[in-house]
């Protein structure tokens, strides 16, 4: 009898449900026309796009007129930071947390002369006093912080960070690409970036929400945030996937939190294993654990053969097993780690089987490394 395969690598990508797939197909059938034209087909496409935009805006706590789509979350980071920085003429420094996504850090370096990275504590929280001091410099154009971390799950204390940015009159770009669809949207931001692929939509769409007061200037050719237009099928699928997540948000969060609590407890009892990140102020579905004297790649491969898909290394590097800059910034072990991301449909028995399988896999990897 075949063993049920379990996907435990839901960080940045999540399986697409049948409901979302059907929405994408509907978008292909009815949303193919240019929504800027005046034909009946174009009006139908415009109605679909407007409906998707309104649904996503409502979930983010934004006005639909200030929600924009791009060709992926990386482009959304680039557009957000570059556009706001350009509007802040005469200021050439961007402040960002040390554990931001690599895409955010790369976009910040491209959009500014100077990038100041703010350190974090052992659980991954930005050091508030250091952040406040950094944003108070008169040369700072914009600050970028995460709502929740995409590897360790730590949720930032965003209210205090937003207060510091506001006191310095510095716009705050919040990366919510790991949190929307898993917990409530943050309330404190000037610009918010979200990634539909993380909440179960097809890859290829990024979301930018802006407050009406936030000033920006295009730092790229063409008009708007997505010159050339937006994929209406992707926008519709993203809206439906998000609605599906939000319909069961509280129940799913409670269940996944209980499962990750169980996993954190068992993992912490294993010899040479350290669970990373805040045990309380965290996302419900993510865990990262560092394994002393074990490499991440053989652990991932062995677990994959046993029927479990997990991640290791950097969650956003160009190389899957590139050492995690998030863990490095926290002072944690970088080369021997597992990153676990639970999907809404994971079963309790799947987690128990994983926890039984992992010690055996660890012992097999130890033997192969010493052979």
Looking at residue 314, what is its pLDDT? 56
Instruction: Give the model confidence (pLDDT) of 209-237 as tens digits.
Output: 999 999 999 988 877 888 888 999 999 99
How many structural domains comprise the chain?
Answer: 2
Q: Residue 1 falls within a domain, yes or no?
A: no
Please give the share of the chain, as a percent, with pLDDT higher than 90: 81
Considering only 91-95, 238-242, 320-324, which range has the smallest mean pLDDT?
320-324
- Whether residues 134 and 53 share a domain: the answer is yes
Whether 259 and 347 map to the same domain: the answer is yes
Shared domain for 205 and 264, answered yes or no, is no
3-state secondary structure of 135: helix
Query: Which of 227, 247, 267 is the endpoint of a domain?
Result: 247
Mean pLDDT of all residues in 121-147: 96
Do the Cβ atoms of 193 and 83 come closer than 8 Å?
no
Token digits of residue 121: 């504590």
Q: What is the pLDDT of residue 292?
A: 85
Beta strands in 228-285 (DSSP E): 273-276
Q: How far apart are CA 151 and CA 160, in angstroms?
A: 22
Angle subtended by helix axes 102-111 and 73-87, to nearest 10: 30
How confident is the model over 168-193, as a mean pLDDT?
97
Structure tokens given for 291: 């394994």
Q: Residue 318: what pLDDT? A: 47
Q: Is the pLDDT of residue 315 over 80?
A: no
Q: Are residues 217 and 341 in the same domain?
A: no
For the entire predicted model, the pTM comes to: 0.92
Q: Of 150, 180, 183, 181, which is closest to residue 286 (Cα–Cα)?
A: 150
The tokens describing 100, both together, are 């931001």
- Per residue in 31-66, pLDDT (tens digit) is 999 998 999 999 999 999 999 999 999 999 999 999
Give domain status of residue 188, yes or no: yes
Q: Which residue has the tokens 């690599």?
A: 102
Q: The domain spanning residue 158 has which CATH number?
A: 3.40.640.10
């Amino acid at each position: 009898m075949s063993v049920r395969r379990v996907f435990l690598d839901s960080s940045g990508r999540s399986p697409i449900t049948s409901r979302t797939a059907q929405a994408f197909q509907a978008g292909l059938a009815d949303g193919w026309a240019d929504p800027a034209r005046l034909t009946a087909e174009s009006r139908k496409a415009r109605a679909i796009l407007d409906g998707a935009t309104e649904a996503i805006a409502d979930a983010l706590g934004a006005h639909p007129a200030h929600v924009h789509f791009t060709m992926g979350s990386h482009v959304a980071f680039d557009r957000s930071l570059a556009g706001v920085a350009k509007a802040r003429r005469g200021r050439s420094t961007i402040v960002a947390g040390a554990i931001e996504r690599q895409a955010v850090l790369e976009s910040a370096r491209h959009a500014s002369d100077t990038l100041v990275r703010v350190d974090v504590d052992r659980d991954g929280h930005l050091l508030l006093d250091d952040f406040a001091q950094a944003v108070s410099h008169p040369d700072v154009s914009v600050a970028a912080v995460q709502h929740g971390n995409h590897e360790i799950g730590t949720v930032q204390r965003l209210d205090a960070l937003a207060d510091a940015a506001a006191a310095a009159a510095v716009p705050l770009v919040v990366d919510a690409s790991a949190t929307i669809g898993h917990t409530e949207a943050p309330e404190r931001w000037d610009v918010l970036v979200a990634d539909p692929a993380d909440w179960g939509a097809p890859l290829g769409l990024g979301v930018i929400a802006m407050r009406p007061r936030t000033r920006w200037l295009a730092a790229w050719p063409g008009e708007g945030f997505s010159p050339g237009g937006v994929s209406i099928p992707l926008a519709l699928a993203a809206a439906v996937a998000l609605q599906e997540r939000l319909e069961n948000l509280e129940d799913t969060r409670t269940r996944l939190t209980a499962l990750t609590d169980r996993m954190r407890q068992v993992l912490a009892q294993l010899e040479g294993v350290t669970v990373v990140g805040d045990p309380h102020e965290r996302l419900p579905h993510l865990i990262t654990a560092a394994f002393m004297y074990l490499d991440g790649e053989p652990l991932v491969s062995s677990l994959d053969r046993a029927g479990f898909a997990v991640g290791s290394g950097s969650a956003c590097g160009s190389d899957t097993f590139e050492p995690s800059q998030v863990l490095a910034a926290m002072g944690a072990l970088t080369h021997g780690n597992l990153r676990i991301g639970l999907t809404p449909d994971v079963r309790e028995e799947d987690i128990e089987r994983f926890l039984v399988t992992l010690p055996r896999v660890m012992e097999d990897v130890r033997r192969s490394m010493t052979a």
